[in-house]
């Protein structure tokens, strides 16, 4: 099936015909059955649906001051920059090939690692990135004597390895790698301690993980999500006073537009009820419901029916109302049809979220060289917009072809 640019419905008189779009694709060497085209594959569990992408797609980013939103966008932009460079490098471990692309390998690998350190949610792992990890190691070792290669590493190579191990759920090996990095380098960000804590938690070593959360906060008191996790772990350990302290500290420092904020309120409504502080518990529950409504307004979905939320609802609602709330929240991911289509099609992986207000290839707000003129939308999926045929053809070749076909299905 062909891919066409069609003008957004508001300007149908400017529609670009399917025939011209197909000719443009052919001129760029694009065909529906192009042979030999490399298609990267993101690893299962790595390419997750990120709430911040939904926020962007819904045009609500400007309505929240949550600093994590801007950090995610910065990290995603950085990741895409490194990933795009990575995709220009031949997928070869041949020494001569790597010599010709040495600087690009270094730059791509280190850019991706820095994006992961800034916000790991913005850095999905793929088969091509795994190959880049191998290429990076070979480039680093090329000038190192054979006898000195055992145990040779630099900060970025250690962190790249930790990233791969964490995505692969090799928690014990990831712990070893992160510990080596922490013991060797003093300038690592607080997130490294947070990531090591998550490894400990995954292995059931809660007490040791708690110590890493404390180190994380010592290094960066503004890493507020650590307070929320502290509360959750203490709650799991039945340590109510410490749990209440952790959640309250998160409420003081965290942002009210986050799922963690909602969870902290639900958790406190349970913990305070257990300590017979019923009026406070009820107040926290009411605040949780209000915060959840705000979250749904921004993101178009509820925070999901976690065990904590279910317990809070059953504790503070009548049996009939609790059943209704829990039922209405299933399934947890109730996105509107358009957002669901964008997610399933992979369109939200574009550096510019699909929107009639910006070109998904370059970010332009209007037709090329024609300020005030609306953007053109893809005639195939009707879900992504461009400022020109050139941008459409480039994006189609780079990533949108598969997404367009999937969206149409």
Q: What is the spatial distance between Cα 294 and Cα 296, in angstroms, rounded to a whole number?
A: 5
pLDDT at 72: 93
Of the ranges 38-42, 46-50, 383-387, the best mean pLDDT one: 383-387
Q: What average pLDDT score do residues 305-316 get? A: 90
Give the C-alpha distances (Å, rounded to integers) separating 238 from 231, 274, 278, 342.
10, 11, 19, 42
3-state secondary structure of 42: strand
46: DSSP letter: T
Lowest average pLDDT, out of 82-96, 153-167, 203-217, 362-376, goes to 362-376
Q: Tell whether 325 is covered by a domain.
A: yes
- Check whether residue 316 and residue 389 sit in a common domain: no
The model's confidence at residue 380, banded by pLDDT at 50, 70 and 90, is: confident
Which residues, including other chains, have CB under 8 Å from residue 4's CB and lie 6 or more apart?
A: 16, 17, 18, 21, 22, 378, 379, 380
**31 has a pLDDT exceeding 60:** no
**347 has a pLDDT exceeding 70:** no
**282 has a pLDDT exceeding 50:** yes
Q: What average pLDDT score do residues 271-291 get? A: 95
Q: Which of 299, 332, 365 is the last residue of a domain?
A: 332
- What percent of the chain is predicted at pLDDT more than 90? 53
| Cβ contact 235:273 at 8 Å | no
Q: Residue 171 has which token pair? A: 């928690």
pLDDT at 165: 92
Q: Tell whether 44 is covered by a domain.
A: no
Q: What is the spatial distance between Cα 107 and Cα 132, in angstroms, rounded to a whole number?
A: 11
Kindly report the CATH number assigned to the domain that includes residue 231: 1.25.40.10
Q: Tell whether 287 is covered by a domain.
A: yes
Higher pLDDT, 108 or 306: 108
In sequence order, what DSSP letters do the residues of 205-262 get, joined into one string?
-HHHHHHHHHHHHHH-TT-THHHHHHHHHHHHTT-HHHHHHHHHHHHHHS-TTSHHHH
Q: Residue 327 has which token pair? A: 């039922």
Model confidence pLDDT, tens digit, residues 175-202 = 999 999 999 999 999 999 999 999 999 9
The model's confidence at residue 1, banded by pLDDT at 50, 70 and 90, is: very low
Which residues, including other chains, have CB under 8 Å from residue 91's CB and lie 6 or more apart?
A: 38, 128, 131
**265 has a pLDDT exceeding 90:** yes
3-state secondary structure of 356: coil
3-state secondary structure of 79: helix
User: What's the residue count for the chain?
Assistant: 409
Q: Tell whether 79 is covered by a domain.
A: no
Q: How wide is the angle at C-alpha 330 spanned by C-alphas 325 and 331, nearest 5°?
A: 155
**336 has a pLDDT exceeding 60:** no
- Check whether residue 311 and residue 360 sit in a common domain: no
pLDDT at 152: 66
Q: 166: exposed, middle or buried (C-beta count within 10 Å: 0-12, 13-18, 19+)?
A: buried
- Check whether residue 301 and residue 375 sit in a common domain: no
| Cβ contact 408:380 at 8 Å | yes
- Check whether residue 373 and residue 299 sit in a common domain: no
β-strands 385-386, 5-7 pairing: unpaired
**290 has a pLDDT exceeding 80:** yes
> Residue 18 is part of which domain span?
1-37+335-342+355-409
Q: Tell whether 117 is covered by a domain.
A: no
Of the ranges 143-147, 237-241, 350-354, the best mean pLDDT one: 237-241
Give the C-alpha distances (Å, rounded to integers) separating 301 from 101, 311, 401.
44, 20, 28
- Check whether residue 387 and residue 308 sit in a common domain: no
Which residues, including other chains, have CB under 8 Å from residue 53's CB and lie 6 or more apart?
A: 343, 348, 353
Model confidence pLDDT, tens digit, residues 125-168 = 989 999 999 999 999 888 777 766 676 678 999 999 999 999 88
The model's confidence at residue 332, banded by pLDDT at 50, 70 and 90, is: very low
**345 has a pLDDT exceeding 60:** no
pLDDT at 344: 52
**28 has a pLDDT exceeding 50:** no
Higher pLDDT, 399 or 51: 51
> Whole-prediction pTM value?
0.69
- Check whether residue 313 and residue 281 sit in a common domain: yes
Q: Tell whether 403 is covered by a domain.
A: yes
| Cβ contact 257:295 at 8 Å | yes
Q: Tell whether 398 is covered by a domain.
A: yes
**242 has a pLDDT exceeding 70:** yes
Average pLDDT for the chain: 81
pLDDT at 49: 64
Total domains in the fold of the chain: 2
Q: Tell whether 276 is covered by a domain.
A: yes
β-strands 376-378, 5-7 pairing: antiparallel
Model confidence pLDDT, tens digit, residues 55-73 = 888 888 899 999 999 999 9
């Amino acid at each position: 099936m062909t891919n066409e640019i069609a003008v957004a419905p508001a300007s149908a008189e400017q529609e670009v015909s399917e025939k011209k779009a197909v000719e443009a694709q052919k001129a760029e060497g694009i065909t529906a059955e192009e042979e030999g085209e490399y298609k990267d594959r993101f690893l299962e569990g790595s390419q997750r649906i990120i709430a911040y992408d939904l926020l962007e797609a819904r045009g609500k980013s400007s309505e929240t001051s949550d600093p994590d939103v801007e950090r995610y966008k910065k990290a995603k932009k950085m990741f895409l920059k490194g990933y795009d460079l990575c995709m220009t490098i031949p997928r070869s471990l041949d020494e001569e090939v790597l010599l010709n692309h040495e600087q690009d390998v270094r730059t791509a690998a280190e850019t991706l690692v820095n994006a992961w350190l800034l916000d790991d949610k913005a850095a999905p792992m793929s088969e091509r990135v795994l190959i880049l990890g191998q290429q990076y190691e070979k480039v680093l070792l090329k000038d190192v004597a054979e006898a000195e290669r055992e145990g040779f590493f630099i900060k970025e190579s250690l962190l790249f390895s930790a990233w791969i191990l964490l995505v692969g759920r090799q928690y014990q090996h990831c712990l070893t790698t992160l510990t080596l990095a922490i013991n060797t380098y003093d300038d690592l960000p607080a997130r490294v301690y947070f990531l090591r804590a998550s490894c400990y938690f995954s292995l059931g070593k809660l007490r040791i993980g708690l110590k890493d959360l404390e180190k994380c906060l010592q290094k960066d008191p503004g890493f507020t999500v650590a307070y929320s996790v502290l509360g959750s772990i203490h709650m799991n350990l039945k340590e109510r006073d410490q749990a209440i302290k952790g959640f309250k500290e998160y409420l003081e420092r965290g942002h009210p537009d986050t799922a963690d904020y909602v969870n902290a309120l639900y958790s406190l409504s349970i913990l305070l009820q257990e300590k017979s502080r019923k009026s406070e518990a009820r107040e926290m529950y009411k605040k949780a419901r209000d915060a959840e409504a705000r979250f749904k307004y921004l993101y178009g979905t509820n925070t999901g029916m976690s065990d904590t939320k279910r317990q809070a609802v059953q504790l503070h609602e009548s049996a009939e109302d609790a059943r209704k709330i829990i039922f209405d929240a299933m399934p947890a991911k109730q996105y509107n049809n358009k957002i669901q289509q964008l997610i399933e099609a992979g369109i939200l992986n574009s550096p510019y979220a699909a929107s009639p207000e910006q070109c998904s290839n370059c970010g332009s707000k209007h037709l090329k060289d024609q300020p005030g003129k609306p953007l053109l939308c893809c005639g195939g999926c009707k879900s992504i917009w461009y400022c020109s045929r050139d941008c459409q053809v480039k994006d189609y070749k780079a990533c949108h072809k598969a997404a367009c076909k999937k969206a149409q299905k």
